[in-house]
Amino acid sequence: MKILFFNYEYPPLGGGAANATLCILKEYSKIDDLKVDLITASLSDKYEIEKIGENITIHRLPIGKNKSNLHFQSQKDLIIYSWKAFLFTKKLTKENKYDLTHSFFSVPCGAVSWWLKMTQKIPYVISLRGSDVPGYSDRFKFIYFVLKPFIRMIWKKSSAVVSNSQGLKELALKTSQNQKVDIIFNGIDINDFYPEKSIQRNDKFIITLGGTRITERKGINYLIQALSLLVSKYPNIFLRLVGEGNEKENLISLTKELKLDNFVEFVGLIPREKIAPYYQEAKLFVLPSLNEGMSNAMLEALATGLPIVATETGGTTELVEDGINGLIVKMKDSKDLADKIEMIIKDEKLRVRMGEESRKKAEQMSWENVAKKYYDLYTQIADKK
């Protein structure tokens, strides 16, 4: 079976969707009768090609990417990627007979899949990742208004639309009420991410968001404000932010304004293969996000055995049981956030118990299962074709 895969994000470019693509492709490399070509973006000004095993090929197309902000894709980036992918795909489809295409994000990637369906009758799968679903991000309000009819058509013409969480599925149904949407959760590699008490800091109560995009949507400003309510009572509290994004400078300014320079560390971008210790040193994972699909960082925190404090959005309800392995907080509410963090700081037995429950939940999930579910879906679609 031959699959043409589209995602403009692929490590080190992008965030959760990029990581999910990498993990799925690693699992695909173990399936002998599956061949995949991924069309993604390059960080250089040249076309680049990579391999995973013998059957997975990554084609990186130059889009003039600004290397100083790997986690943020501008509208210009997306438009250039779409055009370059469209042209490159015309070449690839002359050389290969694909059974179907699979696009992460309805737009821009889904638009290329849709075009191939219309011109070459190649069926396609759309994976909803978050920002491609109307209503997900305030940043794209106008674009959603313009593109909603096209997005609805892309979904309708697909062979399958797949969400990574129940919350994102419900949001998608607000755009297309009768659309069939399946759910395949993100996975987690429990061998890469695991508890390691020997490196956990005892001199500091470290809070982490893991490796994440530092964007306004993550609600990190509310966490920093919550920290300012706690430092006088808990001088050993420490927030470590790993990642990059267009909100970083604003958060640095807020940190200085609240005189929290000694309590907040902006680590910057860390390669995924080196990020596990940043979870293992921490005692709590907090994600006060305004919207999520299913957070890969939260999955990594679960596997590392951390209690979770998070807003009820995206995949949170699937990953966090309030009072069992974490606590749900009100959105945009620094006081509630501070109160829930304090509950865990004050009760070490509660923190340890919640961490153990997080690890149990992570052990039920794996990228191998995610890849198998997608492979089974491909097989069903190819058989119908």
Packing angle, helices 166-175 and 141-157, rounded to 10: 90
| Domain ranges in the chain with CATH number 3.40.50.2000 | 2-187+366-384, 197-362
Average pLDDT value for residue range 277-286? 97
* 295 closest CA partner among 379, 365, 232, 204: 365
Average pLDDT value for residue range 70-92? 86
Average pLDDT value for residue range 177-194? 93
Looking at residue 68, what is its pLDDT? Answer: 63
2-187+366-384 is classed in which CATH architecture? Answer: 3-Layer(aba) Sandwich (3.40)
Looking at residue 223, what is its pLDDT? Answer: 98
Average pLDDT value for residue range 266-288? 93
pLDDT tens for each residue of 307-329: 999 999 877 888 999 999 999 99
Residue whose entry in the numeric block shows the structure tokens 């084609």: 59
Looking at residue 69, what is its pLDDT? Answer: 63
- Distance of CA 80 to CAs 63, 101, 162, 210, Å? 6, 20, 25, 30
Q: Within 10 Å of residue 160's Cβ, how many Cβ atoms?
A: 21
CA distance 111 to 287: 32
Query: Of the CATH numbers 3.30.2350.10, 3.20.20.140, 3.40.50.2000, 3.40.50.720, which one belongs to the domain with range 197-362?
Result: 3.40.50.2000
Residue pair 317/294 in contact by the 8 Å Cβ criterion? no
Question: 268-284 as b/e, with b when 16 or more CB fall inside 10 Å?
Answer: eebebeebbebbbbbbb
Has this prediction a pTM greater than 0.85?
Answer: no
| CA-CA-CA-CA dihedral for 217, 361, 327, 313, to nearest 10 | 30
pLDDT band at 71 (very low <50, low <70, confident <90, very high): low
Looking at residue 70, what is its pLDDT? Answer: 63
Q: How many CA atoms lie within 13 A of 235 on its CB side?
A: 1
CA distance 162 to 104: 10
pLDDT of residue 202 exceeding 90: no
pLDDT tens for each residue of 15-51: 889 989 999 999 999 999 999 999 999 988 899 999 9
pLDDT tens for each residue of 223-258: 999 999 999 999 999 999 998 888 999 999 999 999
